[in-house]
Amino acid sequence: MQTAAEPNAKPAPAATAAPLLAVRNIEVVYDNVILVLRGLSMDVPKGAIVALLGANGAGKSTTLKAISGLLKTEDGEVTRGEIVFDGERIDGIDPDKIVRRGIFQVMEGRRIIADMTALENLRLGAYTRSDKNVDDDIDMVYKYFPRLKERTGLAGYLSGGEQQMLAIGRAMMARPKMILMDEPSMGLSPLLVKEVFGIIKQINRDLGVTILLVEQNARAALSVASHGYIMEQGKVVLDGTAAELRDNEDVKEFYLGGAGDQRKSFKNLKSFKRRKRWL
Ligand SMILES: Nc1ncnc2c1ncn2[C@@H]1O[C@H](COP(=O)(O)OP(=O)(O)OP(=O)(O)O)[C@@H](O)[C@H]1O
Ligand SMILES: [Mg+2]
Protein backbone atom coordinates (compact mmCIF):
# COMPACT_ATOMS: atom_id res chain seq x y z
CA MET A 1 0.00 0.00 0.00
CA GLN A 2 1.23 3.46 -0.81
CA THR A 3 1.03 6.18 1.80
CA ALA A 4 1.44 9.92 1.33
CA ALA A 5 4.10 9.98 4.03
CA GLU A 6 6.64 8.03 1.95
CA PRO A 7 8.43 10.59 -0.18
CA ASN A 8 9.99 8.08 -2.59
CA ALA A 9 7.02 5.79 -2.90
CA LYS A 10 6.11 5.16 -6.50
CA PRO A 11 2.39 5.12 -7.27
CA ALA A 12 1.00 1.65 -7.87
CA PRO A 13 0.80 1.20 -11.64
CA ALA A 14 -2.68 -0.29 -11.54
CA ALA A 15 -4.00 2.72 -9.70
CA THR A 16 -2.58 5.37 -12.02
CA ALA A 17 -1.98 3.85 -15.45
CA ALA A 18 -4.61 4.88 -17.96
CA PRO A 19 -6.63 1.92 -19.17
CA LEU A 20 -5.86 0.71 -22.69
CA LEU A 21 -9.55 1.10 -23.50
CA ALA A 22 -11.92 3.53 -21.81
CA VAL A 23 -15.57 3.66 -22.75
CA ARG A 24 -17.12 6.80 -21.30
CA ASN A 25 -20.85 7.16 -20.95
CA ILE A 26 -21.74 6.15 -24.49
CA GLU A 27 -25.12 6.13 -26.09
CA VAL A 28 -25.73 4.07 -29.21
CA VAL A 29 -28.64 4.51 -31.56
CA TYR A 30 -29.59 2.22 -34.49
CA ASP A 31 -31.46 3.56 -37.51
CA ASN A 32 -31.50 7.05 -35.94
CA VAL A 33 -34.23 6.06 -33.49
CA ILE A 34 -33.53 2.85 -31.56
CA LEU A 35 -31.61 3.74 -28.40
CA VAL A 36 -29.73 0.63 -27.29
CA LEU A 37 -26.81 1.77 -25.11
CA ARG A 38 -27.83 4.31 -22.48
CA GLY A 39 -24.72 5.73 -20.87
CA LEU A 40 -22.39 2.75 -20.75
CA SER A 41 -18.93 3.10 -19.22
CA MET A 42 -16.14 0.59 -18.76
CA ASP A 43 -12.36 0.34 -18.50
CA VAL A 44 -10.12 -2.37 -19.85
CA PRO A 45 -6.59 -2.28 -18.39
CA LYS A 46 -3.66 -3.13 -20.63
CA GLY A 47 -2.88 -6.84 -20.65
CA ALA A 48 -6.11 -7.82 -18.86
CA ILE A 49 -8.95 -10.13 -19.74
CA VAL A 50 -12.22 -8.36 -18.92
CA ALA A 51 -15.60 -10.09 -19.15
CA LEU A 52 -18.78 -8.33 -20.28
CA LEU A 53 -21.81 -10.34 -19.20
CA GLY A 54 -25.54 -9.93 -19.49
CA ALA A 55 -28.81 -11.41 -20.71
CA ASN A 56 -29.94 -11.63 -24.33
CA GLY A 57 -30.49 -8.21 -25.82
CA ALA A 58 -28.65 -6.32 -23.06
CA GLY A 59 -26.41 -4.68 -25.64
CA LYS A 60 -23.20 -6.69 -25.33
CA SER A 61 -22.58 -7.17 -29.05
CA THR A 62 -23.57 -3.55 -29.65
CA THR A 63 -20.87 -2.47 -27.17
CA LEU A 64 -18.22 -4.48 -29.04
CA LYS A 65 -19.38 -3.09 -32.40
CA ALA A 66 -19.24 0.45 -31.02
CA ILE A 67 -15.59 -0.16 -30.08
CA SER A 68 -14.58 -1.88 -33.34
CA GLY A 69 -16.49 0.59 -35.51
CA LEU A 70 -18.60 -2.18 -37.03
CA LEU A 71 -21.75 -0.35 -35.87
CA LYS A 72 -21.45 1.69 -39.01
CA THR A 73 -22.13 -1.36 -41.14
CA GLU A 74 -25.47 -1.80 -39.33
CA ASP A 75 -26.65 1.80 -39.42
CA GLY A 76 -25.71 2.27 -35.78
CA GLU A 77 -23.99 5.31 -34.29
CA VAL A 78 -22.37 6.44 -31.04
CA THR A 79 -24.43 9.57 -30.35
CA ARG A 80 -22.98 10.53 -26.95
CA GLY A 81 -19.92 9.88 -24.85
CA GLU A 82 -16.51 8.78 -26.04
CA ILE A 83 -14.33 5.75 -26.62
CA VAL A 84 -10.62 6.21 -25.98
CA PHE A 85 -8.10 3.57 -27.07
CA ASP A 86 -4.41 3.89 -26.31
CA GLY A 87 -4.90 7.58 -25.52
CA GLU A 88 -6.89 8.51 -28.63
CA ARG A 89 -10.56 8.91 -29.43
CA ILE A 90 -11.78 6.15 -31.77
CA ASP A 91 -15.56 6.56 -31.72
CA GLY A 92 -16.89 7.31 -35.18
CA ILE A 93 -13.73 6.08 -36.96
CA ASP A 94 -14.03 3.55 -39.82
CA PRO A 95 -13.60 -0.10 -38.82
CA ASP A 96 -10.53 -0.74 -41.00
CA LYS A 97 -8.73 2.20 -39.35
CA ILE A 98 -9.60 0.78 -35.95
CA VAL A 99 -8.06 -2.57 -36.99
CA ARG A 100 -4.92 -0.67 -37.96
CA ARG A 101 -4.86 0.98 -34.54
CA GLY A 102 -4.79 -2.47 -32.98
CA ILE A 103 -8.31 -3.66 -32.18
CA PHE A 104 -9.63 -6.84 -33.80
CA GLN A 105 -13.14 -8.17 -33.23
CA VAL A 106 -14.00 -11.85 -33.37
CA MET A 107 -17.67 -11.68 -34.32
CA GLU A 108 -20.52 -13.62 -32.77
CA GLY A 109 -21.13 -16.86 -34.68
CA ARG A 110 -17.48 -17.02 -35.79
CA ARG A 111 -17.90 -15.52 -39.28
CA ILE A 112 -15.04 -17.29 -40.92
CA ILE A 113 -15.07 -17.43 -44.70
CA ALA A 114 -16.63 -20.78 -45.48
CA ASP A 115 -15.41 -21.18 -49.06
CA MET A 116 -11.78 -20.49 -48.26
CA THR A 117 -9.37 -22.89 -46.54
CA ALA A 118 -8.32 -22.43 -42.93
CA LEU A 119 -4.93 -21.23 -44.11
CA GLU A 120 -6.47 -18.65 -46.45
CA ASN A 121 -8.66 -17.43 -43.59
CA LEU A 122 -5.57 -17.01 -41.42
CA ARG A 123 -3.75 -15.05 -44.13
CA LEU A 124 -6.76 -12.80 -44.42
CA GLY A 125 -6.38 -11.87 -40.75
CA ALA A 126 -3.00 -10.34 -41.60
CA TYR A 127 -4.35 -8.11 -44.37
CA THR A 128 -3.38 -4.87 -42.63
CA ARG A 129 0.21 -5.98 -42.10
CA SER A 130 3.11 -5.15 -44.34
CA ASP A 131 5.84 -6.98 -42.41
CA LYS A 132 7.41 -10.24 -43.51
CA ASN A 133 6.59 -12.33 -40.46
CA VAL A 134 3.18 -13.55 -41.55
CA ASP A 135 4.37 -17.13 -42.16
CA ASP A 136 5.98 -17.25 -38.72
CA ASP A 137 2.71 -16.17 -37.21
CA ILE A 138 0.82 -18.87 -39.06
CA ASP A 139 3.17 -21.35 -37.39
CA MET A 140 2.49 -19.63 -34.07
CA VAL A 141 -1.29 -19.99 -34.54
CA TYR A 142 -0.80 -23.69 -35.40
CA LYS A 143 1.14 -24.06 -32.17
CA TYR A 144 -1.95 -22.99 -30.21
CA PHE A 145 -4.41 -24.78 -32.48
CA PRO A 146 -2.55 -27.80 -33.92
CA ARG A 147 -5.65 -29.35 -35.41
CA LEU A 148 -6.11 -26.40 -37.78
CA LYS A 149 -2.91 -27.40 -39.51
CA GLU A 150 -4.34 -30.79 -40.38
CA ARG A 151 -7.48 -29.33 -41.94
CA THR A 152 -6.75 -28.52 -45.55
CA GLY A 153 -10.32 -28.44 -46.90
CA LEU A 154 -12.75 -25.54 -46.94
CA ALA A 155 -13.30 -23.82 -43.61
CA GLY A 156 -17.06 -24.26 -43.96
CA TYR A 157 -16.58 -27.97 -43.28
CA LEU A 158 -14.69 -27.44 -40.01
CA SER A 159 -16.48 -28.38 -36.80
CA GLY A 160 -17.96 -25.63 -34.64
CA GLY A 161 -15.03 -25.78 -32.25
CA GLU A 162 -12.50 -25.67 -35.09
CA GLN A 163 -14.26 -22.69 -36.65
CA GLN A 164 -14.08 -20.88 -33.31
CA MET A 165 -10.37 -21.68 -33.09
CA LEU A 166 -9.90 -20.42 -36.64
CA ALA A 167 -11.74 -17.19 -35.83
CA ILE A 168 -9.44 -16.61 -32.84
CA GLY A 169 -6.38 -17.59 -34.90
CA ARG A 170 -7.38 -15.12 -37.60
CA ALA A 171 -7.58 -12.37 -34.97
CA MET A 172 -4.09 -13.30 -33.73
CA MET A 173 -2.78 -12.93 -37.29
CA ALA A 174 -3.57 -9.21 -37.13
CA ARG A 175 -1.13 -8.92 -34.20
CA PRO A 176 -3.62 -6.70 -32.39
CA LYS A 177 -3.13 -4.94 -29.07
CA MET A 178 -6.66 -5.93 -28.17
CA ILE A 179 -9.09 -8.66 -29.22
CA LEU A 180 -12.83 -8.29 -28.77
CA MET A 181 -14.49 -11.71 -28.54
CA ASP A 182 -18.21 -12.15 -28.91
CA GLU A 183 -19.38 -15.36 -27.22
CA PRO A 184 -16.53 -17.73 -28.04
CA SER A 185 -18.32 -20.47 -26.09
CA MET A 186 -21.40 -20.40 -28.28
CA GLY A 187 -22.38 -23.83 -29.56
CA LEU A 188 -19.38 -25.60 -28.02
CA SER A 189 -19.50 -28.67 -25.78
CA PRO A 190 -18.42 -28.10 -22.15
CA LEU A 191 -15.14 -29.85 -22.88
CA LEU A 192 -14.39 -27.63 -25.87
CA VAL A 193 -15.38 -24.51 -23.91
CA LYS A 194 -12.73 -25.47 -21.39
CA GLU A 195 -10.16 -26.05 -24.12
CA VAL A 196 -10.89 -22.80 -25.99
CA PHE A 197 -10.90 -20.71 -22.80
CA GLY A 198 -7.65 -22.31 -21.70
CA ILE A 199 -6.10 -21.21 -24.99
CA ILE A 200 -7.59 -17.70 -24.65
CA LYS A 201 -5.86 -17.39 -21.29
CA GLN A 202 -2.61 -18.72 -22.73
CA ILE A 203 -2.68 -16.29 -25.66
CA ASN A 204 -3.33 -13.42 -23.26
CA ARG A 205 -0.35 -14.45 -21.13
CA ASP A 206 2.10 -15.34 -23.88
CA LEU A 207 1.39 -12.48 -26.27
CA GLY A 208 0.27 -9.85 -23.77
CA VAL A 209 -2.82 -9.18 -25.85
CA THR A 210 -5.65 -7.46 -23.98
CA ILE A 211 -9.01 -9.21 -24.29
CA LEU A 212 -12.58 -7.99 -23.87
CA LEU A 213 -14.74 -11.06 -23.67
CA VAL A 214 -18.51 -11.00 -24.16
CA GLU A 215 -20.18 -14.11 -22.81
CA GLN A 216 -23.45 -15.70 -21.83
CA ASN A 217 -21.36 -18.38 -20.16
CA ALA A 218 -20.50 -16.34 -17.07
CA ARG A 219 -18.79 -19.24 -15.37
CA ALA A 220 -16.33 -19.77 -18.20
CA ALA A 221 -15.73 -16.05 -18.67
CA LEU A 222 -15.12 -15.37 -14.97
CA SER A 223 -12.72 -18.30 -14.82
CA VAL A 224 -10.28 -16.49 -17.12
CA ALA A 225 -11.10 -12.80 -16.57
CA SER A 226 -9.65 -10.56 -13.86
CA HIS A 227 -12.62 -8.17 -13.93
CA GLY A 228 -16.18 -8.29 -15.12
CA TYR A 229 -19.03 -5.96 -16.00
CA ILE A 230 -22.66 -6.97 -15.98
CA MET A 231 -25.01 -5.07 -18.20
CA GLU A 232 -28.76 -4.84 -18.46
CA GLN A 233 -30.75 -2.78 -20.91
CA GLY A 234 -27.82 -0.86 -22.28
CA LYS A 235 -26.14 0.01 -18.99
CA VAL A 236 -23.62 -1.46 -16.59
CA VAL A 237 -25.46 -2.53 -13.43
CA LEU A 238 -22.59 -4.20 -11.60
CA ASP A 239 -18.84 -4.52 -11.92
CA GLY A 240 -16.00 -5.89 -9.90
CA THR A 241 -13.16 -8.35 -9.82
CA ALA A 242 -13.98 -11.79 -11.19
CA ALA A 243 -13.81 -13.17 -7.63
CA GLU A 244 -16.25 -10.54 -6.32
CA LEU A 245 -18.70 -11.30 -9.10
CA ARG A 246 -18.44 -15.04 -8.59
CA ASP A 247 -19.33 -14.52 -4.91
CA ASN A 248 -22.15 -12.06 -5.55
CA GLU A 249 -25.54 -13.59 -4.72
CA ASP A 250 -27.39 -11.99 -7.66
CA VAL A 251 -24.70 -13.06 -10.07
CA LYS A 252 -24.84 -16.56 -8.67
CA GLU A 253 -28.58 -16.70 -9.03
CA PHE A 254 -28.95 -15.18 -12.48
CA TYR A 255 -25.70 -15.93 -14.25
CA LEU A 256 -24.11 -18.89 -12.55
CA GLY A 257 -27.29 -20.92 -12.14
CA GLY A 258 -26.52 -24.62 -12.23
CA ALA A 259 -23.46 -26.22 -10.72
CA GLY A 260 -20.78 -27.87 -12.82
CA ASP A 261 -22.64 -31.16 -12.66
CA GLN A 262 -24.32 -31.86 -16.00
CA ARG A 263 -27.72 -33.10 -14.90
CA LYS A 264 -28.11 -30.35 -12.38
CA SER A 265 -27.23 -27.63 -14.83
CA PHE A 266 -29.58 -29.05 -17.44
CA LYS A 267 -32.41 -29.08 -14.94
CA ASN A 268 -31.63 -25.51 -13.93
CA LEU A 269 -31.37 -24.32 -17.47
CA LYS A 270 -35.11 -23.96 -17.97
CA SER A 271 -35.67 -21.87 -14.88
CA PHE A 272 -32.51 -19.94 -15.65
CA LYS A 273 -33.88 -18.96 -19.04
CA ARG A 274 -37.28 -18.17 -17.66
CA ARG A 275 -35.78 -15.94 -15.01
CA LYS A 276 -33.57 -14.11 -17.43
CA ARG A 277 -36.61 -12.83 -19.28
CA TRP A 278 -37.62 -10.86 -16.21
CA LEU A 279 -34.31 -9.07 -15.88
N1 LIG B 1 -28.58 -3.66 -36.36
C2 LIG B 1 -29.53 -3.41 -35.46
N3 LIG B 1 -30.57 -2.61 -35.75
C4 LIG B 1 -31.52 -2.36 -34.82
N5 LIG B 1 -31.53 -2.85 -33.57
C6 LIG B 1 -30.51 -3.66 -33.22
C7 LIG B 1 -29.46 -3.98 -34.15
N8 LIG B 1 -28.59 -4.81 -33.52
C9 LIG B 1 -29.08 -4.99 -32.29
N10 LIG B 1 -30.23 -4.31 -32.09
C11 LIG B 1 -31.02 -4.27 -30.86
O12 LIG B 1 -30.20 -3.82 -29.81
C13 LIG B 1 -30.46 -4.54 -28.61
C14 LIG B 1 -29.17 -5.12 -28.10
O15 LIG B 1 -28.68 -6.09 -29.02
P16 LIG B 1 -27.27 -6.79 -28.88
O17 LIG B 1 -27.10 -7.67 -30.05
O18 LIG B 1 -26.23 -5.76 -28.63
O19 LIG B 1 -27.49 -7.62 -27.54
P20 LIG B 1 -26.61 -8.77 -26.89
O21 LIG B 1 -26.45 -8.38 -25.45
O22 LIG B 1 -25.41 -9.02 -27.68
O23 LIG B 1 -27.61 -10.02 -26.96
P24 LIG B 1 -27.30 -11.60 -27.22
O25 LIG B 1 -26.87 -12.14 -25.90
O26 LIG B 1 -28.63 -12.12 -27.61
O27 LIG B 1 -26.26 -11.71 -28.28
C28 LIG B 1 -31.52 -5.56 -28.96
O29 LIG B 1 -32.75 -5.07 -28.53
C30 LIG B 1 -31.48 -5.65 -30.46
O31 LIG B 1 -32.74 -5.92 -30.99
MG1 LIG C 1 -24.72 -10.61 -28.80
Q: pLDDT of 163-222, one tens digit each?
A: 999 999 999 999 999 999 999 998 888 999 999 999 999 999 999 999 999 998 999 999
Per-residue confidence band for 242, with pLDDT thresholds at 50, 70 and 90 = very high
For residue 212, being part of any structural domain is answered with yes
Nearest CA to ligand 1 atom 16: 59
Predicted local distance difference test score (pLDDT) of residue 257: 63
The whole domain housing 226 covers 19-247
Q: Would residue 262 count as lying in a domain?
A: no
Task: Name the phi and psi angles at 163, rounded to 5.
Answer: -65, -40
257 within a domain of the structure (yes/no): no
Is 2 within a domain?
no
Q: Which residues surround ligand 2, an ion (CB under 5 A)?
A: 60-61
Flag whether 276 is in a domain. no
Pocket of ligand 1 (CB under 6 A): 30-31, 34, 36, 54, 56-62, 74, 76, 216
11 CB-contact burial (10 Å; exposed 0-12 / middle 13-18 / buried 19+): exposed
Kindly provide the residue ranges of all beta strands, DSSP E only, lying in 100-168, ordered along the sequence. Answer: 103-106
The CATH code of the domain that includes 160 is 3.40.50.300
Domain count, the chain: 1
Higher pLDDT, 275 or 120: 120
Q: What is the pLDDT of residues 102-140, one digit of tens each?
A: 999 998 766 789 999 999 999 999 988 888 899 999 999
